[in-house]
Structure formats: C-alpha cells, structure tokens
C-alpha cells in the first residue's frame, strides 16, 4: 500500500497542477516562450496523472481483494480516463510533430492511441450497460467521437491551412474535459465529503467545453484561411 499511496499523492499533485496551469496556456500568446514552457509542464503533469491512474486502477481491480463492485467500476473509469487523457495529449503533440505533412499519415505513433481509445471506449461502454452504470455507459461516447475524428484527420490529406494549429487546440482542450471530469468524479466528492454526485454534473465539462472547442476551431479555421468572421 506504500506504493499505492505514493501514486495517489503524485496523482493528486499532478492533477491539480494540470487543472490550474492549463488555463494559462489558453490565455497566453500561442507559440510564445511562456506558452511552450507551461505547455510542457502541463504535458509532464498529465503523464504523471495517466501513469498513476493506470496503476491505481489496476491495483484496485486485480490486486486489492477488498475492492467491491462499486470500487471496481470506478477503477475501470479511472483507467479509461487515463487512456482518454493520454490519447488527447499525445494527439496534441503529434499534430505539431507532423504539421508539415501533405499526405495521410498511417504511422503507428499517430494511429496507436486513437485505435486504443476507440476500442477501450466500446469496451467500457458495454461494461457500463452490463452493470447498469450511466457514467460508464455514455461517457465513452466522448472517446468514440474523439478517436474517430483523430483517425479521420490522420487518414486524410490536410484540407485547410493551419490544420495542425486547430487540431493541437482540439487535442489539449479535449484532454481538459477528461481532467475536469475526473476531478468531479473522484476529487470533488472526497474534498467536500459527499457520498454521491449527480451524473449530470459529471457530464457538465463535456457540455460546456464542446462549444468552446467548436468555437476555437471555427475562429482559427477562418483566420488561417482568410475568411472574415
């Protein structure tokens, strides 16, 4: 349990760090020195969050004999959130790595995570319906949509200017959805000593941030392609 406690503390510290500094990257000048430094700190924080989430989730599911059905189901959600956040952050980085591409990209380092996210989304959703848990049943629809859009992006030739800039924003903003959702599911109830939280609250980050992602995509799409808004 000492190792579990270590990962739990690391998860909490890195998670809060990511929650706070993400919004700094949103408001500072894009591509500037501060944006890059804070951005990499965010990436490193999310790496710690994902690794610790994987460990704690699998520990509760496969090692801890005291885990009941409720603990196991939430542990699977923790593992799924780790996959979702990893896939979206990695996507945000990869689109910068291949921003000059002019053809479709079928490399394993860009398709691996979207495929993993797509398959895990189906698996977790099916599991959610089997145990009759709304969060696990319907939240993976977010992952299905994101993995599908990522695969479409990589398997098609770039169609507009600044495509990499737009997709980078989409990837990082999508990751923020998973981070905030995880906080509402796991962190907030413990901090406020609440036994249960409405499932509607768990979907609030997706509901609120999806229009933001669409807005950014439209704005920068028009900006890079010289369309007046």
DSSP H or E stretch at residue 194: none
State residue 167's pLDDT score.
96
pLDDT > 50? residue 229: no
**Residue closest to 165 by CA, chosen among 109, 92, 107, 103:** 92
Is 60 in contact with 71 (CB distance < 8 Å)? Answer: yes
For residue 54, give both structure tokens.
């994987």
- Angle of helix 2-27 relative to helix 163-182, nearest 10 degrees? 140
- Give the model confidence (pLDDT) of 126-139 as tens digits: 999 999 999 899 99
Q: Whole-structure pTM over 0.95, yes or no?
A: no
**Three-state secondary structure call for residue 64:** coil
State residue 190's pLDDT score.
66
- Give the model confidence (pLDDT) of 13-52 as tens digits: 999 999 999 989 988 988 899 999 999 999 999 999 999 9
State residue 185's pLDDT score.
83
Residue 81 neighbours by CB under 8 Å, 6+ apart = 53, 178, 181, 182, 185
136 to each of 50, 54, 80, 162, how far by Cα in Å? 18, 17, 9, 35
Is 85 in contact with 175 (CB distance < 8 Å)? Answer: yes
- Give the model confidence (pLDDT) of 174-219 as tens digits: 999 988 988 888 776 666 666 666 777 788 889 999 998 999 898 8
- Give the model confidence (pLDDT) of 42-96 as tens digits: 999 999 999 999 999 999 999 999 999 989 999 999 999 999 999 999 999 999 9
Handedness of CA 86, 88, 90, 93 (dihedral sign): negative
């Amino acid at each position: 349990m000492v190792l579990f406690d270590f990962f739990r503390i690391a998860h909490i510290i890195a998670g809060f760090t990511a929650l706070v500094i993400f919004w700094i990257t949103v408001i500072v000048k894009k591509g500037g020195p501060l944006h890059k430094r804070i951005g990499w700190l965010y990436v490193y924080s999310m790496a710690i969050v994902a690794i610790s989430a994987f460990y704690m989730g699998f520990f509760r599911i496969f090692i801890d004999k005291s885990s009941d059905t409720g603990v196991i189901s939430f542990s699977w959600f923790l593992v799924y959130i780790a996959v979702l956040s990893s896939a979206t952050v990695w996507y945000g980085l990869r689109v910068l790595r291949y921003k000059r591409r002019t053809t479709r990209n079928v490399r394993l380092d860009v398709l691996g995570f979207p495929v993993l996210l797509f398959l895990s989304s189906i698996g977790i959703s099916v599991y959610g319906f089997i145990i009759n848990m709304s969060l696990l049943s319907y939240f993976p629809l977010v992952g299905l949509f994101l993995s599908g859009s990522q695969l479409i992006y990589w398997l098609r030739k770039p169609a507009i200017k600044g495509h990499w800039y737009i997709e980078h924003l989409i990837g990082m903003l999508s990751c923020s959805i998973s981070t905030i959702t995880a906080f509402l599911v796991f962190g907030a109830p413990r901090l406020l000593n609440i036994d249960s939280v409405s499932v509607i609250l768990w979907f609030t980050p997706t509901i609120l941030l999806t229009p933001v992602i669409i807005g950014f995509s439209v704005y920068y799409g028009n900006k890079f392609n010289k369309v007046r808004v």
